Structure 1
């Protein structure tokens, strides 16, 4: 078969090559296979073998998750293992087999029966466990029908996994095997799968139909260009190998610069900070040469539990992070629940458009006790480091003033109780177009802005960033998005407040000259991306970046902008 190039959407940068491994999603459904009485024992044996294999797979997955994400996340997998040992689950399946059903149908029927029982429980946290029941049942079902188990792969040569989509847990599971790249049919640049692929340095391209990739063929995945090469020629493969070696040299060079400042050739300094979701990740920011935390996603403290963390629990998490990072700044975002982050005990109603619904600061201003508790914990922690408090999803001035009133209320309470607190700054995320348009007025109310370009792009372009069907329309280099960013930058300079960015644009090398040219104070990104961006900053001149930014703002098409920026970067 001759060489074939297929264009897709870049999700995670880098280049890799290997054999294709097609991971087909198996429909979890009743197959309506009746078995004879004399075959019942055989079906029970098949079920017990699949049960044993599923438990072994989950045990390995639990250890992997524990090493990478800690005990809390591993607890989710442990709960799945315990479900496989639950007599209600196991005995029900065996009884259903004895009634004349195949092992597959017995697993499906029992799973759906128990799932529906959970869905009828009034308690929202327990009701959400219905999804866990289905996850466990479908894993068992896959093993019964002999589907490939990604985690149990035992291969020596590099693999490119080709799939419709992968859950973040599946991606973490396979990353310890010899998987060097991903080709997906679904998923946008800011999906959770894309973010994890970046953190694992797995080149990834989406928007490619699985039917276009044969099983066990040779592939090159270019996650920078968004291109997959099927059956590459020797010359194409040699070119890819040269690019990979060049990237490795650049990575080594970038890591050697990690302790140096991010300063341009003509003396403009920009702070490079890290995005984290847990206090234990603060060390990663420092180890990659970051000089602060630009986004601590506190909603992850609220997830995978049946009630919100109390004030003391939150205080300890914030205190540890601030202490570990001191004297560097730590921007802590108040809970950003809703949208794609479900927290069952908040009783957020099912919505047709959750990204436009009841989420983030809207929840905090409605459920004031939740936000007030968080603010009290933040203020108490402010004595231990350089605290920036940030409110998400601001669309109007009244929201900022209401949030500031809660800060005032918290300070009064703490003073009356004789509890000390230190100094802190207050800021907001600019991620809704109305906030960018009103940036000059909003800048009078706060100490800093942080651009949340993932949502800003989504809302400005009316593109669901998790919907693969419209992923080609999602582009943070769209001129409308860049003009909103420039508008925000002008407002902060006029009012004299700080401006940073914590969206995926911050780690995009193509966007760097534009952001430098606007004079942003800090760029915050996944810690592992900091060395690469620092290396590029140190190769630029600020006056060149300013010219590039002005040129970009005069352009009308994203493709034109992308091509121009690619040329600018290549000249380095």
Structure 2
């Protein structure tokens, strides 16, 4: 209820009433818009986060009125900058290529969006996609349904892949500690069991990446067990992102790469 003498600012365009006299702020926003800068947008009660694919577009999209980047898929960094299988680079004596190129790509995005937060999802290539990277055929199994196979968290602690995952962790550590970009947070994809969450977060801790007020660890909810056992997963993560495609696939028991059943799956997702 307004009181006599109380000053407010009415944003008639967006239907918002602010306490106090904000005329000067609104005028400066208008001048910025006329010079070609971002238009003023009313704040929202829900934080609006952006998904970003191509890291080269980070500077362009950083001017959008978003509260941060809610999902940056690490796979795009591999296909944009690295192109080689991580185990191939380790075997050929160039593990630093993974760390340096991942760190540079992550930092490009983190700097552009700072001080707003960004969330990097660790690698979630399927075996067929990893095999397409240079040298990948030597290290990858041939899985007829690789969406249900060796992917996400199950790779990270596997003795056959753990050294590659440690390079991802080293890149994150470099961005946060060497580059001092503390707005970087991470997300773990395709976690089948609570035990997997425990194993992966222990690997992170061993790499000096500890959950805290300025470093959040999220989990992609793609598997029914993530929902059923959410109270147990809560011990290891700060929040969740819904991966609706894989979640619908696993609830319905359909391989979304199988054209015979994928149509019915997509009908459910679109509905």
Same fold per superposition (TM over 0.5): yes
The equivalent position to 2:126 in structure 1, one of 335, 338, 341, is: 338
The equivalent position to 1:295 in structure 2, one of 71, 81, 90, is: 71
Query: Residue 125 of structure 2 aligns to a residue in which SS?
Result: coil
Mapped partners of 2:43, 2:249: distance in 1? 29
Compared CA separation, residues 262 and 365, structure 1 to 2 (3 A): farther
The equivalent position to 2:41 in structure 1, one of 251, 255, 260, is: 260
1:398 equivalent in alignment to 2:179: no
Unmatched 5+ residue regions in structure 2?
Answer: 1-37, 87-96
Give the equivalent residue in structure 1 for 2:216.
425
Query: Residue 429 of structure 1 aligns to a residue in which SS?
Result: strand
Query: Residue 130 of structure 2 aligns to a residue in which SS?
Result: coil
Equivalence map 1:321-470=2 (5 Å): 321-338=109-126, 341-344=129-132, 345-346=135-136, 347-366=139-158, 367-382=161-176, 383-411=180-208, 423-470=214-261
Give the equivalent residue in structure 2 for 1:111.
none
- Pick which of 323-332 and 354-363 moved more: 354-363
CA contact (8 A) 2:99 2:171 kept: yes
Give the equivalent residue in structure 2 for 1:281.
57
1:29-61 per-residue CA deviation (whole Å, 9 max, x = no partner) reads xxxxxxxxxxxxxxxxxxxxxxxxxxxxxxxxx
Unmatched 5+ residue regions in structure 1?
Answer: 1-256, 264-268, 413-421, 479-507, 509-561, 563-572
CA contact (8 A) 1:376 1:411 kept: no
Q: Which of 1 and 2 has greater Rg? A: 1
Give the equivalent residue in structure 1 for 2:104.
316
Query: Residue 59 of structure 2 aligns to a residue in which SS?
Result: helix
CA contact (8 A) 1:337 1:343 kept: no
Query: Residue 445 of structure 1 aligns to a residue in which SS?
Result: coil
Compared CA separation, residues 477 and 443, structure 1 to 2 (3 A): farther
With structure 2 as the length reference, what TM-score do the two structures score? 0.69
Equivalence map 1:212-231=2 (5 Å): none
Shift of 1:472: 3.6
- Pick which of 298-307 and 402-411 moved more: 298-307
Query: Residue 370 of structure 1 aligns to a residue in which SS?
Result: helix
Pick 1 or 2: higher relative contact order, CA cutoff 8 A, min separation 6: 1
Shift of 1:380: 2.1
Query: Residue 118 of structure 2 aligns to a residue in which SS?
Result: strand
Equivalence map 1:47-86=2 (5 Å): none
Mapped partners of 2:60, 2:255: distance in 1? 31
Higher helix share: 1
Mapped partners of 1:258, 1:352: distance in 2? 49
- Pick which of 325-334 and 307-316 moved more: 307-316
1:154-206 per-residue CA deviation (whole Å, 9 max, x = no partner) reads xxxxxxxxxxxxxxxxxxxxxxxxxxxxxxxxxxxxxxxxxxxxxxxxxxxxx
1:343-399 per-residue CA deviation (whole Å, 9 max, x = no partner) reads 443421111221111112222221111111111211221221412111110011111
Shift of 1:436: 1.4
